[in-house]
């Protein structure tokens, strides 16, 4: 059966087109019920013949149809095994997909894991359940009518198969919806219908399920309370305000240092808009897209300089503390910036959050405060009857609403992850918090892998350049198994050398539009935690078939240059190849081969040749303005028995580290130039935007306190300033400056060349006019895309539609940028976790340097652990009456005859604060300089050669 819609559409040029849209309807679609005798399909049965009800509200046998609003607002409830014999209508699926991509994906995941409980009925293509939209009818009302029509059809359809059955035993179809109007009309049509919370509370076998119900958006007990926050503007007023320029749209970023401050970044504006105080933040959560109103310029202010956490240890109720003492009046400050207030929320960026429950004064009570692991997220108020059990566990909570009358957002418990402090639980938390896909690879992905044993066929060798005769080697960190790059060097003549960078040919195994390709594209990158690795592709590829293992033939994509002794490139070529690495060096082993003059084998000579040319290449880059920035990098030694950290080691930087880096950079630049020439509209490139001048203000201020005038007018000027900023009496100061300069940088991003003007291709940090990533396809999907583009450019492979579509390429780049950023955050969190584990039974005194001087705290960096901490300027008994004088111009803090400035070296005592088992954190206390009432005593150094470590009670 065919139905069609005819409508007229006006084109941009004013022409009128007649559009006919055909819609096919069928009468042979299976209903999914085992009971049905009419459909006659042989599909696997999903809906039981005799469903057993555990509901006291619907004690009769029944199937369930759920409305769209339940999927949108109660998705967490649907994860429970309580749900069986559920009919998901096509109408609901399509409406969910349009209104919430995240909920649609989650629903798909639930359906995939619970195939025996959820049946999708394609009601939009069944001749008896399809409904046309009536004139003047809204899309929502039409969809509600379609849902009711499907319910009625199911009831009538099943009655034919239940003739002669006792009415009490007959299966009925129950509609669950939160929509009052839909529920009322369903009742009028004779369809049993209930609210989801009514139904869930009636499930006698699942009493805990009601805790997953999302909190109501309009609670009656809130109506009579005094509002704590300003009312948000209606969407129409927000849009008109943005259009007229009275309001600005941007992304809200909560401050990590002060929970009463935040900023809104507005596209096209260099300076973010500062927000201070509860009323100005107005219930925004980090990541929300908001509408902000600028204050008059005479009310602009500057960041308070206070380190402030919401340290409420009990639920304070719906009261907001006075903010005058917490936020100083800085309207006369020289560093004022645009200041505003949030007047509306355009789009929420809420997600599920990991964290802990605060201990309650009334353990038997049901209202509790949840503390997210992410400091930028406010506490969340939830209701649960399992507080005693959950108080020792890490749990997941979702936000439902944030009424004006509530100090905190309201949410609901989703699930428990495991015990607090358990290493596996904490790893799970940091992966979930940073949205790192870490599930096992599904069967559809594993089915794409080659069968074992695998070997390179003669046909494949004939299609490639055979480079197995070359002395190729790899240089990587210790324990590396996913080796994606290798090098070779040979002398062609006294002043001409051949250099080769050989990269694993992952694109040979990961073909476009396969399940393996889609999974890799979604993951985006391999994530390296301290104690584990979450691969982008299955281990068979990452650590075996793609990895350039020594003495094994492997497929590669090679970049080969002819260069002079001065590192001038004479010729560049790209080729798919077959290689055989001679050896896999660690950085230290390669360095030993270079330094040991007795080593005269071919690989040692090659490494020396490569190292010599790499130093010239690096000097040339630095002369062009490339930056040599810094960030603390450490490595943990872990116990072979417990896998817990037993020592911390700073990662050494050897010449071989720089050597490998230089040739990888050269390969990336060469490939970027080549693919852009062939694909100017869709080349996948990487750029590093020039930081706005405002980003450098803290850096310039810090340099000025040390007597240095730093030039940030260009990357070359910045590099020269950093090289000159040296103090013999403070050898670490230059490193601190470089760390601060790193924090001024913008995020480097992937992009499709057709979406950005060529002048913006520039990579600021590398001083490269064009750049991409080519050298790590085992662990980065961007490199895999670049391999495909390069293969097409050199005629080694065929193209496909999405590869040459700049819009598709940019969508992939957006996901890769997100995954790359989250991967970095997850890796930092893993280091922080292992630092916590390291200090679980330790107290140590360590050298530290003052990174920032705040109004009420010193923020210090402890280089040995790459750890940052805050020393609050209050007495050891919690008394804040210590007489500190804050000088914001230097900045400095003075107490008596002791003055502490930025970059000063101090001694601190590091330990794990276990005051609250639920919320352990690293504690940093000042040891030296000595300030009475603030400093703690140094740990006595044992006379033996043992490290300065004091075991806590309970330590092993």
Task: Find all residues with CB under 8 Å of 534, minimum gap 6, and list them.
Answer: 431, 436, 437, 438, 523, 526, 527
- Which tokens go with 205? 């076998």
> Quick one: pLDDT band at residue 949, thresholds 50, 70, 90?
very low
Highest mean pLDDT pick, 362-366, 487-491, 936-940: 487-491
Condensed to tens digits (0 to 9), the pLDDT of residues 685-694 reads 999 999 988 8
Q: Does position 220 have pLDDT exceeding 70, yes or no?
A: no
> Dihedral through CA 811, CA 812, CA 813, CA 818, nearest 10?
100
How confident is the model at residue 952, as a pLDDT? 33
- Span of 145-149, 555-559, 940-944 with lowest mean pLDDT: 940-944
Q: What letter would DSSP give residue 209?
A: G
- Give the span between the Cα atoms of 858 and 856, in whole angstroms: 7
> Quick one: pLDDT band at residue 647, thresholds 50, 70, 90?
confident
Task: Find all residues with CB under 8 Å of 260, minimum gap 6, and list them.
Answer: 276, 277, 278, 281, 304, 308, 323, 326, 327
- Which tokens go with 839? 């200090």
> Quick one: pLDDT band at residue 191, thresholds 50, 70, 90?
very high
Condensed to tens digits (0 to 9), the pLDDT of residues 227-267 reads 899 999 999 999 999 999 999 999 999 998 888 999 999 98
Q: Does position 520 have pLDDT exceeding 70, yes or no?
A: yes
> Quick one: pLDDT band at residue 702, thresholds 50, 70, 90?
confident
Across 389-415, average pLDDT: 91
| Class of domain 2-182 as given by CATH | alpha beta
If you search the block for the tokens 């390296």, which residue do you land on?
528
Measuring CA to CA, which residue among 399, 360, 394, 362 is closest to residue 381? Answer: 399
- Phi-psi category of residue 76: left, alpha or beta, with phi > 0 → left and psi -120 to 50 → alpha: alpha
How confident is the model at residue 955, as a pLDDT? 37
Q: Does position 58 have pLDDT exceeding 80, yes or no?
A: yes
Condensed to tens digits (0 to 9), the pLDDT of residues 829-863 reads 998 888 888 888 889 999 999 988 888 899 999 98
Q: Does position 35 have pLDDT exceeding 90, yes or no?
A: no
* CATH architecture for segment(s) 842-955: Beta Barrel (2.40)
If residue 677 lies in a helix (H) or strand (E), which one and from where to where? helix 655-678
CA of 184: how far to CAs of 88, 178, 216, in Å? 21, 11, 19
Mean per-residue pLDDT over the chain, rounded: 87
Across 212-240, average pLDDT: 76
* CATH architecture for segment(s) 227-317+331-420: Beta Barrel (2.40)
**Residue 787 in contact with residue 796, Cβ under 8 Å?**
no
- Span of 135-149, 325-339, 562-576 with lowest mean pLDDT: 325-339
How confident is the model at residue 217, as a pLDDT? 43
Q: Does position 511 have pLDDT exceeding 80, yes or no?
A: yes
Measuring CA to CA, which residue among 485, 567, 581 is closest to residue 775? Answer: 485
- Which tokens go with 241? 């305000």
Condensed to tens digits (0 to 9), the pLDDT of residues 81-123 reads 889 999 999 999 999 988 888 888 889 888 888 888 899 999 9
- Give the span between the Cα atoms of 405 and 505, in whole angstroms: 59
Q: Does position 753 have pLDDT exceeding 90, yes or no?
A: yes
Condensed to tens digits (0 to 9), the pLDDT of residues 264-322 reads 999 888 789 999 999 999 999 999 999 999 999 989 998 887 888 877 766 777 777 66
How confident is the model at residue 290, as a pLDDT? 95
2-182 and 842-955 agree in CATH topology: no
How confident is the model at residue 302, as a pLDDT? 86
- Which tokens go with 280? 């100005």
Q: Does position 916 have pLDDT exceeding 70, yes or no?
A: no
> Quick one: pLDDT band at residue 956, thresholds 50, 70, 90?
very low
Q: Does position 615 have pLDDT exceeding 80, yes or no?
A: yes
Q: Please spell the DSSP secondary structure of 311-353, one letter per residue.
A: --SS---S-----TTTS---TT-TT-B-BEEEEEEEE----EE
How confident is the model at residue 218, as a pLDDT? 42
**Residue 614 in contact with residue 662, Cβ under 8 Å?**
yes
- Give the span between the Cα atoms of 159 and 37, in whole angstroms: 11
Q: Does position 948 have pLDDT exceeding 50, yes or no?
A: no
Q: Does position 463 have pLDDT exceeding 70, yes or no?
A: yes
Q: Phi/psi at 214 (nearest 5 deg)?
A: -65, 140
- Give the span between the Cα atoms of 504 and 536, in whole angstroms: 14
Which residue ranges make up each domain of the chain?
Answer: 2-182, 227-317+331-420, 444-681+771-822, 842-955
> Quick one: pLDDT band at residue 333, thresholds 50, 70, 90?
low
Task: Find all residues with CB under 8 Å of 601, minimum gap 6, and list them.
Answer: none
Condensed to tens digits (0 to 9), the pLDDT of residues 863-899 reads 888 888 889 887 555 555 678 898 888 888 999 899 9
Q: Does position 222 have pLDDT exceeding 70, yes or no?
A: no
Across 641-651, average pLDDT: 75
**Residue 193 in contact with residue 174, Cβ under 8 Å?**
yes
How confident is the model at residue 537, as a pLDDT? 96
Q: Please spell the DSSP secondary structure of 787-813, one letter per residue.
A: HHHHHHHTTSS---GGGG-HHHHHHHH
> Could you tell me the pTM of the whole model?
0.83
- Give the span between the Cα atoms of 703 and 707, in whole angstroms: 7
How confident is the model at residue 98, as a pLDDT? 87
CA of 784: how far to CAs of 510, 543, 668, 685, 713, in Å? 9, 16, 13, 12, 36
Q: Does position 44 have pLDDT exceeding 90, yes or no?
A: no
């Amino acid at each position: 059966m065919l139905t069609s819609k005819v409508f007229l559409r006006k084109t941009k040029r004013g022409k009128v087109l007649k559009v006919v849209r055909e819609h096919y309807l069928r009468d042979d679609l299976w209903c999914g019920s085992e009971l049905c005798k009419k459909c006659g399909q042989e599909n696997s049965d999903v809906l039981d013949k005799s469903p057993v009800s555990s509901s006291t509200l619907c004690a009769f046998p029944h199937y369930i149809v759920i409305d769209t609003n339940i999927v949108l607002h109660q998705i967490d409830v649907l994860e429970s095994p309580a749900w069986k014999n559920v009919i998901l209508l096509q109408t609901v699926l399509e409406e969910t997909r349009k209104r919430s991509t995240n909920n649609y994906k989650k629903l798909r995941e639930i359906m995939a894991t619970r195939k025996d409980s959820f049946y999708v009925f394609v009601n939009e293509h069944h001749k008896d359940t399809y409904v046309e939209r009536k004139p003047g009818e809204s899309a929502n009302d039409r969809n509600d009518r379609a849902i009711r029509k499907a319910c009625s059809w199911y009831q009538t359809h099943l009655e034919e198969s239940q003739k002669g059955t006792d009415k009490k035993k007959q299966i009925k179809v129950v509609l669950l919806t939160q929509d009052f109007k839909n529920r009322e009309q369903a009742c009028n049509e004779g369809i049993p219908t209930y609210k989801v919370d009514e139904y869930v509370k009636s499930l006698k076998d699942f009493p805990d399920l009601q805790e997953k119900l999302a909190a109501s958006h309009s609670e009656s007990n809130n109506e009579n309370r005094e509002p704590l926050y300003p009312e948000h503007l209606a969407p129409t007023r927000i849009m008109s305000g943005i259009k007229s320029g009275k309001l600005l749209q941007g992304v809200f970023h909560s401050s990590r240092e002060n929970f009463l401050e935040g900023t809104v970044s507005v596209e096209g504006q260099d300076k973010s808009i500062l927000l201070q105080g509860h009323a100005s933040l107005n219930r925004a959560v980090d990541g929300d897209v908001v509408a902000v109103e600028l204050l008059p310029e005479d009310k602009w202010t500057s960041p308070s300089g206070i380190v402030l956490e919401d340290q409420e240890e009990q639920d304070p109720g719906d009261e907001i503390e006075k903010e005058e003492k917490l936020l100083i009046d800085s309207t006369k400050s020289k560093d004022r910036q645009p200041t505003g207030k949030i007047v509306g929320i355009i789009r929420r960026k809420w997600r599920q959050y990991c964290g802990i429950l605060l201990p309650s004064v009334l353990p038997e009570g049901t209202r509790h405060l949840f503390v997210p692991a992410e400091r930028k997220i406010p506490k969340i108020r939830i209701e649960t009857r399992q507080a005693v059990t959950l108080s020792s566990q890490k749990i997941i909570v979702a936000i439902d609403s944030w009424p004006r009358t509530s100090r905190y957002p309201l949410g609901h418990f989703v699930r428990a992850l495991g015990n607090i402090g358990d290493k596996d639980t904490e790893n799970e938390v940091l992966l979930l918090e940073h949205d790192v896909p870490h599930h096992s690879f599904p069967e559809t992905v594993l089915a794409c892998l080659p069968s074992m044993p695998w070997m390179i066929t003669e046909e494949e060798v004939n299609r490639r350049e055979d480079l197995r005769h070359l002395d190729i080697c790899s240089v990587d960190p210790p324990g590396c198994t996913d080796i994606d790059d290798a090098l070779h060097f040979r002398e062609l003549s006294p002043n001409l050398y051949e250099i080769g960078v050989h990269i694993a040919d992952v694109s040979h195994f990961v073909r476009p539009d396969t399940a393996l390709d889609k999974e890799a594209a979604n993951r985006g990158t391999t994530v390296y935690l301290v104690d584990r690795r979450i691969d982008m592709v299955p281990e068979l590829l990452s650590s075996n078939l793609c990895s350039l293992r020594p003495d094994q033939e492997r497929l590669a994509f090679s970049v080969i240059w002819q260069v002079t002794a001065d590192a001038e490139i004479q010729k560049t070529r790209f080729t798919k190849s077959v290689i055989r690495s001679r050896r896999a060096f660690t950085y230290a082993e390669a360095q030993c081969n270079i330094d040991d003059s007795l080593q005269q084998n071919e690989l040692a000579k090659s490494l020396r040749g490569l190292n010599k040319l790499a130093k010239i290449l690096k000097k040339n880059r630095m002369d062009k303005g490339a930056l040599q920035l810094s960030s603390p990098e450490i490595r943990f030694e872990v116990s072979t028995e417990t896998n817990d950290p037993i020592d911390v080691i700073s990662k050494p930087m050897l010449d071989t580290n720089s050597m490998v880096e230089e040739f990888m950079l050269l390969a990336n630049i060469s490939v970027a130039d080549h693919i852009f020439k062939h694909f100017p509209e869709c080349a996948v490139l990487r750029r590093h935007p020039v930081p706005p001048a405002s980003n450098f203000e803290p850096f310039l201020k810090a340099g000025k306190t040390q007597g240095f005038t730093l030039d940030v007018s260009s990357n070359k000027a910045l590099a020269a300033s950093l090289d000159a900023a040296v103090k013999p009496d403070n050898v670490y100061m230059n490193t601190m400056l470089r760390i601060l300069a790193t924090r001024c940088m913008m995020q480097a991003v992937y992009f499709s060349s057709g979406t950005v003007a060529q002048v913006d291709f520039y990579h600021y940090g590398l001083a490269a006019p064009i750049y991409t990533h080519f050298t790590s396809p085992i662990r980065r999907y961007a490199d895999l895309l670049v391999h495909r583009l390069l293969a097409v450019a050199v005629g080694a492979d065929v193209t496909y539609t999405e590869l040459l579509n700049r819009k598709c390429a940019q969508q992939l780049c957006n996901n890769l940028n997100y995954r790359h950023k989250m991967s970095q955050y997850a890796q930092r969190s893993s280091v922080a976790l292992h630092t916590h584990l390291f200090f679980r039974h330790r107290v140590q005194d360590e050298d530290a340097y003052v990174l920032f001087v705040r109004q009420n705290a010193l923020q210090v960096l402890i280089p040995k652990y790459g750890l940052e901490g805050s020393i609050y300027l209050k007495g050891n008994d919690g008394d804040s009456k210590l007489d500190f004088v804050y000088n914001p111009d230097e900045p400095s803090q003075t107490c008596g005859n002791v003055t502490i400035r930025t970059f000063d070296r101090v001694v601190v005592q590091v330990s794990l604060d276990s005051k609250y088992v639920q919320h352990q954190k690293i504690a940093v206390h000042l040891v030296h300089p000595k300030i009475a009432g603030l400093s703690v005593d140094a740990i006595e150094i044992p006379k033996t050669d043992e490290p300065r470590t004091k075991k806590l009670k309970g330590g092993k």
